[in-house]
Amino acid sequence: MDFEPWWLIFVPVLFALGWLAARFDIRQMLRETRSLPDSYFRGLNFLLNEQPDRAIDAFVEVAKLDPETTELHFALGSLFRRRGEMERAIRVHQSLLNRSDLPAAEREHAQHELAQDFLKAGMLDRAESGFEQLKDTRYALPALRSLIRIFESEHDWPRAIEAVKTLHGLVDEPVPQIVHYYCEQAATALAAKPPNVDAAHTALDAADHALSTTDAGMSSKGAMVRTAMLRARLALLEQDPKRERLYLESVMTDAPEYAGLVAEQLLANYRTAGQAQAGLELLQRQYARHASLDLFNVVFRELRVQQGSAPAWAFARGALRSHPSLLGLDRLLEAELANGEGAAEQGPVPGADLTLLRSLIHKHTQRLDRYACRSCGFQARRFYWQCPGCNAWETYAPRRLEELE
């Protein structure tokens, strides 16, 4: 096709149209900018200068001047919640829900934010009701996860189990905490007066079934160890020492890092059967393969009882030489002093003031004699399957803090 010179007339026309469009966009932007209250820009300035308190006050003023700014209301509510001002956060999100002209998507968003406010404020019944209303919305998954947290905090294990099963149907991810829910049911049944043995069996059977599923194979050893420990406790109640020993020794074999948690009960089992020496030898072999402070403490005390102070101190010296530990030294001094005031005269260090020595060491070991959460760092003197700080499962290593440093 031939080029016609008169087509060139379209070039300036196109440039003129582009210029007009740019002018229109700039004027529109300036018009919208002028319509924003000065408080909006003051709030942005305060945020940039890391002055959140003054920024919130400025944005609150904007929200009062222009109630239609829903995104600003959501931002304010989130800021209030993060700062712990739950009453103000709840009021902001409730005011949004009270608007009859609020679109459905934003109404769901406001409902989810309000339920989170209630949850953080500890108003669990209202939070549960709020999250239940989101089951058929785009917030169904986060709402279900929040419901699981609520059921856990209320120790409502049957509902927690059903919620986790529902979650597993929505997302293809492992949910190993369901094993612990069954274990919690079993522990509750065993703690009842009198113990509900049938309920404990049912719960532990369900835990074993959960462990045998595909996602349980992705869980850590903790759930398996806990199930075995509860099985051993149940066998003890049913006066079946052979089965009790079987479960406890399975922990020593399959999860040796947890041996310190079952050593005392296993030794008691051997002692009841008149085999205290065999039980001590088993624990000594276990310590030689997998040393831990908890296991050291049990072996040292039992050596002191069965064989006297000299063999116990010989074991302690060798153990502390191989695995130096202030906490281990503190434990053996404590055990030595517990045998009476004359223990120091009979021991390998006659005349030593063990009381003074132990008090000096104990001051430095108090902070080390704890278990610590790998997730949030929360420390506790006893072992927890669920961290009291962050509520995560199986985040406590079965070793004292000194052993982890």
- Digitized pLDDT (tens) for each residue of the chain, 405 residues in all: 454 555 555 556 555 555 545 444 444 443 444 444 554 445 555 545 555 556 555 555 554 545 556 777 777 788 778 888 898 888 878 877 887 877 888 899 989 999 999 999 999 999 999 999 998 899 999 999 999 999 999 999 999 999 998 988 888 777 778 999 999 999 999 999 999 999 999 999 999 998 887 554 445 688 999 999 999 999 999 999 999 999 999 999 999 999 999 999 999 999 999 999 999 999 999 999 998 888 988 998 899 899 988 888 888 888 888 887 777 777 777 766 666 544 444 444 444 466 666 666 666 667 778 899 988 989 998 999 999 888 889 999 898 887 776
- Which range of residues forms the domain containing residue 196? 174-280
The answer to whether 167 touches 145, Cβ cutoff 8 Å, is yes
Distance between CA 358 and CA 368 in Å, rounded? 15
Other residues' Cβ atoms within 10 Å of the Cβ of residue 264: 16
CA–CA separation, 157 vs 151, rounded Å?
A: 7
Whether 105 and 123 map to the same domain: the answer is yes
DSSP strands (E only) in 28-98: none
pLDDT value at residue 196: 95
Domain endpoint, select from 226, 256, 280: 280
**Is 56 inside any structural domain?**
no
Give the distance, in angstroms, between the CA of residue 91 and the centroid of all CA atoms in the same chain. Answer: 30
In a domain, 230, yes or no: yes
Distances (CA, A) of 24 to 10, 19, 34, 57: 21, 9, 15, 34
For residue 15, the model assigns a pLDDT of 58
Mention every residue, 6+ apart, whose C-beta is less than 8 A from residue 223: 176, 179, 180, 183, 207, 211, 216, 394
Global confidence as pTM: 0.77
pLDDT value of residue 308 = 86
Query: How many other CB atoms are there within 10 angstroms of residue 256's CB atom?
Result: 16
Q: What is the pLDDT of residue 11?
A: 52
Collapsed DSSP state (helix, strand, coil) of residue 386: strand
The size of the chain, in residues, is 405
Same domain, yes or no: 167 and 184: no
- Overall number of domains in the chain: 4
CA–CA dist 299, 332 (Å, integer): 10
Domain boundary (171, 203, 226) is at 171
Do 143 and 104 belong to one domain?
A: yes
pLDDT at residue 106 in the model: 87
Q: Give the model's pLDDT for residue 351.
A: 42
How far is the C-alpha of 317 from the C-alpha of 337, rounded, in Å? 17
* Gap between the Cα atoms of 361 and 359, Å rounded: 6
Do 132 and 86 lie in one domain? The reply is: yes
Question: Where does a domain end: 280, 305, 330?
Answer: 280
Q: State how beta strands 371-372 and 379-380 pair.
A: antiparallel
| Cβ atoms of 396 and 384 closer than 8 Å | yes
**Per-residue confidence (pLDDT) for residue 144, from 0 to 100:** 94
Strand partners, 393: 386
Residue 328 is predicted with a pLDDT of: 76
Tell me what pLDDT residue 289 has: 92
Question: Can you tell me whether residue 53 is helix, strand or coil?
Answer: helix
Together in a domain, 163 and 90 = yes
Residue 92 and residue 9 share a domain: no
Is residue 207 situated within a structural domain? yes
Which CATH number characterizes residue 82's domain? 1.25.40.10
